[in-house]
Amino acid sequence: MPYSDPVLLFYWVATLALAGFAKGVSGIGLPLIAVSLLSLVANITTVLPLVVISFVVTNVWQALSSGLVVPSLARFWHLLLTTALGTVVSAWLMIGLDPRILYGVLGAMVLLFIASGPLHRHLHVPRSREWWLSPLVGLLAGIFGGFSSIFGPTLVSYMAALKLPKEEFVGAIGVLLSASTVVLALSLVANGLLGWYEAMWGLVLLAPVAVGMAAGQRLRRHISQLWFNRIIMILLTVIGLNLLRRALY
């Protein structure tokens, strides 16, 4: 637990503040930075219960502040349902299954998406195809997210293909990740990994995340759509490389 060593506690606080800042700027990146860096000093089954409350609260905050909760739910409800289904199944299996294969597959998918950058201007999912494609994307996002808490790559890649404007993108991702992380938290409770003790520390560790996220949101208001898209691609590249690293060792 982070309280056992002042240096370790500082590391947790600094990591979570950085992760919150990244999420405030781009709408994603909190699990990527938090889980990746904290898993260097603690087991993932220890890290997830302590940070999942931050995931839930910041995603809800992001969704509500966008003012797009109702339109996002109306458009992506089938995506939400299948993401929840995949999360429940994979979170239950997480206890005894090595997720490195999934890390590798997901990392390769993300990097392939980035490598196809020149094609992105032509890559477009029309709304007429969302009724069957969204449930498939949701199921994949839930399966990967339940194992790693990282729902973002699958959902972000899909949102990029939908060509959503900056604020609509952030609002939709906030709504989708809110539902996903709530299901993940409930799954951790059901599997005995998240109790009152972990929840108490989760609330304490929410403070640096909130400070970082507020600063990041302020910065986002002053950057253009072009730079926003670049930041998303950079974060996805880091996510993909990190997932491949975790698949190898």
Place of tokens 């109790």: 195
pLDDT value, residue 112: 66
Which structural domain, as residue segments, surrounds residue 83?
Answer: 2-248
Using CA atoms, how far residue 31 sits from 6, 60, 169, in Å, is: 23, 15, 18
In angstroms, rounded to a whole number, what is the distance separating the alpha carbons of residues 194 and 208? Answer: 20
Q: What are 134-193's pLDDT values in tens digits?
A: 999 999 888 877 766 677 777 877 887 888 887 888 888 889 888 888 988 988 898 888
B/e letters for 136-161, b = 16+ CB within 10 Å, e = fewer, are ebbbbbbbbbbbbbbbbbbbbbbbbb
pLDDT one-digit tens code per residue, 7-28? 899 999 999 998 898 888 878 7
Torsion angle, CA of 91/92/96/100, rounded to 10 degrees?
-30
pLDDT of residue 93: 67
- Tally the domains of the chain: 1
3-state secondary structure 211-248: HHHHHHHHHHCCCCHHHHHHHHHHHHHHHHHHHHHHHH
> What pLDDT digit, counting tens, does each position of 80-106 carry?
999 988 888 776 766 556 667 767 766
pLDDT of residue 53: 94
